[in-house]
């Protein structure tokens, strides 16, 4: 069984908070670069899906060891990541150099759904304290 390090819970949730803040800053405060129009499913949508896949995986990692069913954890990951993405898109409607885009919301939800794939493999991994990994030589 593969072994993966499990950092303390406070550090895992701190990573989620930092990622959420980074997404908000990049989505609401930074002027987006000019990118060529690549159609409905282009670089922009792939970027959204990848971002929310990463955010969802951080959420899933933060939930390791939580006394919840796999179904509940997967629903939390999908729901929190998707609703956060919807909230960011709604907030962008009030930012002059940004625009509200339903397809961005869909791409965010696709990334969040892909992150739920974590639960296909979580039971096949042993999570151990980081110090246990260091001494495994």
Q: Is 18 exposed, middle or buried (0-12, 13-18, 19+ CB in 10 A)?
A: exposed
Beta carbons of 27 and 105 less than 8 angstroms apart: no
Q: How large a percentage of the chain has pLDDT more than 70? A: 87
* pLDDT given at position 31: 76
Distance from C-alpha of 58 to C-alpha of 17, rounded to nearest angstrom? 10
Beta carbons of 103 and 51 less than 8 angstroms apart: no
List, in sequence order, every residue forming a beta bridge with 87; answer none if it has no partner. Answer: none
* pLDDT given at position 37: 63
DSSP, collapsed to helix, strand or coil, labels residue 124 as helix
Output the six-digit token pair for 135: 């001494």
Distance from C-alpha of 27 to C-alpha of 108, rounded to nearest angstrom? 12
pLDDT per position as a tens digit, 53-103: 999 999 999 999 999 999 999 999 999 999 999 999 999 999 888 888 899
pLDDT per position as a tens digit, 2-28: 888 999 999 999 999 999 999 999 999
Res 49 pLDDT > 70: yes
Neighbours of 26 (CB within 10 A): 13
pTM of the model: 0.88
The 10 Å CB-count burial string (b at 16+, else e) for 99-125 is eebeebbbbbbbbbbbbbebeeebeee
Res 137 pLDDT > 50: no
């Amino acid at each position: 069984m593969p072994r993966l390090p499990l950092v303390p819970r406070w550090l895992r949730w701190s990573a989620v908070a930092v990622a959420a803040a980074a997404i908000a800053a990049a989505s609401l405060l930074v002027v987006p670069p000019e990118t060529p129009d690549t159609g409905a499913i282009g670089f922009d949508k792939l970027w959204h899906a990848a971002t929310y896949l990463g955010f969802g995986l951080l959420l899933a990692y933060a939930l390791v060891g939580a006394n919840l069913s796999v179904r509940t954890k997967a629903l939390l990951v999908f729901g929190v990541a998707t609703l956060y993405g919807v909230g960011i898109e709604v907030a962008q409607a009030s930012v002059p150099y940004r625009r509200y885009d339903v397809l961005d919301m869909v791409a965010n939800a696709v990334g969040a759904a892909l992150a739920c794939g974590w639960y296909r493999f979580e039971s096949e991994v042993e999570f151990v304290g980081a110090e246990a990994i260091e001494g495994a030589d």
